[in-house]
Every structure is written in structure tokens, then in C-alpha cells.
């Protein structure tokens, strides 16, 4: 894609945002790789080195060794602890301040949309949020910072301090259904929007990947910003093969120019 094509597509996307009443963003791992968070499913990602079958919900709740692997290999490190929102996250938050954001539907668990300034009630987290942990027995909640402190002190399998129950990050694991209320709300927002913008998702994980289809079926325009192809490319009115941060920054700047902010 040459610079003129990129400029034209950026301009077209900005026009769509300005002229839309309900703009929904659908974000995947590709929006957060620029914050230093690896895409687990990409070549060289963690699921090429580890067997996803060892990290299912069923194994987590039934085998101590599975819980130890989970905490030590996935959460005992510093993989996402120091990650900060990047320009793409901030650009979406700026669109909210301009009154041009209905909601963000995200497959990510990194909390970066909220950190960037998108109100929590406008962030629909299909796969949960890694910043909190719950006891599966008594329901007590902990922050991930509390659990990380215990891991750093040498605990390998943290358990509930109240009842000794199993502690689980508030994320959706393999073999676990998406949260019904969140999926229902995301489906409704997708069907009611007039513009859905996908950023950094291959749209290959279902049922989340149905959401852009719902939007298109209801008459919404679809924009895709992703470095690799997706099954929905042919449905997009704008297809940008570009990095999320610089692309969204440019789009939001053009929106600000058009609305006079």
C-alpha cells in the first residue's frame, strides 16, 4: 500500500466516523502488540511452545499441576504488567471524548482500553480482564497485584485466604464459555451500530468473530485495520493493511479536523 492509498483510506475512514451515529470498535491482539504484549496465536507465539490442552478450564480446576503451570508460566512473569496503552488505544479514547464512540468490544484481557481513558461501561470484554482474580468456592475477589505479590514471595499455587478455594484469573480459559451477558450486549451493539471498525483481529475465533457479520447483515459499514488477511475482508468498505497505532492516530486527527476540535 503506497502513501497515497493510505492517505485516501484514512480520509475515507474519518468521513465514515464523522457521519456515523453509532461507532463500535472490535479489537484483538494486534492492537496490543505495539504495547509489547505478544499475540499468543501468531507464529512464534506462546501456543507454539506450550500445549493449549494443558491450560483448559477443566484441567485448571481439576489438577494442581495445571494450576501451577498456569500461574508460573503465564502469570508469574512480567509479560503484561508493564504494558501501557499505545497510540491506537489513546486514539479510540479521544474519539469517545469527541462523542464518536458507542463502545469497544475487545477480545483482549489486558485492560489497556480502560487505562487509555475509555469509560469502563463502554468496554465490553469478551474474554475477561486479567487485572482481577476470584475464588471459585466463596467468590472473594483479589487484584492481580495482590496475587503477583504472593507469587513473587514464592507461592506457586495461590489459594483463597478465606476458604482455601481455587483462585482463578477473571479471564475466559480454553474450554470455558464466553460470559453470556457480555456476549449478549456485544451482539446487540453490533446489530445496532452503523459503523464497525475492526483493529488487530484475524476474526478467526468464534463466536466473537460473528459480531462483524451481525453488523454487516444489519446494514452497517465495516472497516478493517489489520496487517494480515481476515475472512471478512471482502465485506469491508475500507481495508487498511497498516499498523494500528499510526493508522488510528491519523484517522482521529482527521476526525478532529472535520468536527472542529
Q: Is 127 a catalytic residue?
A: yes
Q: Active-site residue among 70, 89, 113, 127?
A: 127
Contact 15, 255 (CB under 8 A): no
Task: Please report the sign of the dihedral spanned by the C-alpha atoms of residue 207, residue 209, residue 211, residue 215.
Answer: negative
Contact 67, 133 (CB under 8 A): no
Determine the straight-line distance between the first and last CA of the chain, rounded to whole angstroms: 29
For residue 215, CA distances in Å to 79, 176, 196, 210, 219 come to 34, 25, 7, 9, 7
Residue with cell 488510528: 248
Strand partners, 93: none
- Which burial class, exposed, middle or buried, applies to 165 when counting CB atoms under 10 A from its CB (0-12, 13-18, 19+)? middle
Q: How many residues does the chain have?
A: 261
Which residues are known catalytic residues? 127
Amino acid at each position: 500500500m503506497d502513501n497515497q492509498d493510505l492517505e485516501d483510506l484514512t480520509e475515507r475512514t474519518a468521513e465514515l466516523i464523522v457521519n456515523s451515529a453509532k461507532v463500535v470498535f472490535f479489537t484483538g491482539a494486534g492492537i496490543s502488540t505495539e504495547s509489547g504484549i505478544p499475540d499468543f496465536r501468531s507464529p512464534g507465539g506462546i501456543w507454539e511452545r506450550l500445549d493449549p490442552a494443558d491450560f483448559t478450564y477443566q484441567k485448571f480446576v481439576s489438577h494442581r499441576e495445571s494450576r501451577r503451570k498456569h500461574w508460573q508460566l503465564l502469570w508469574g512473569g512480567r509479560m503484561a504488567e508493564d504494558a501501557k496503552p499505545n497510540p491506537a488505544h489513546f486514539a479510540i479514547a479521544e474519539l469517545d471524548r469527541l462523542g464518536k464512540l458507542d463502545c469497544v468490544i475487545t477480545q483482549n484481557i489486558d485492560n489497556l482500553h480502560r487505562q487509555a481513558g475509555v469509560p469502563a461501561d463502554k468496554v465490553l470484554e469478551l474474554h475477561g480482564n486479567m487485572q482481577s482474580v476470584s475464588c471459585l468456592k466463596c467468590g472473594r475477589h483479589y487484584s492481580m497485584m495482590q496475587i503477583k505479590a504472593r507469587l513473587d514471595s514464592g507461592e506457586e499455587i495461590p489459594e483463597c485466604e478465606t476458604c482455601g478455594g481455587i483462585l482463578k484469573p477473571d479471564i475466559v480459559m480454553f474450554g470455558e464459555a464466553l460470559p453470556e451477558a457480555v456476549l449478549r450486549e456485544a451482539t446487540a451493539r453490533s446489530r445496532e451500530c452503523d459503523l464497525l471498525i475492526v483493529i488487530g483481529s484475524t476474526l478467526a475465533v468464534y463466536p466473537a468473530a460473528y459480531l462483524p457479520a451481525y453488523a454487516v447483515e444489519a446494514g452497517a459499514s465495516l472497516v478493517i485495520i489489520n496487517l494480515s488477511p481476515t475472512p471478512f475482508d471482502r465485506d469491508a468498505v475500507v481495508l487498511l493493511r497498516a499498523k494500528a497505532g499510526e493508522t488510528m492516530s491519523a484517522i482521529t486527527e482527521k476526525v478532529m479536523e472535520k468536527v472542529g476540535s
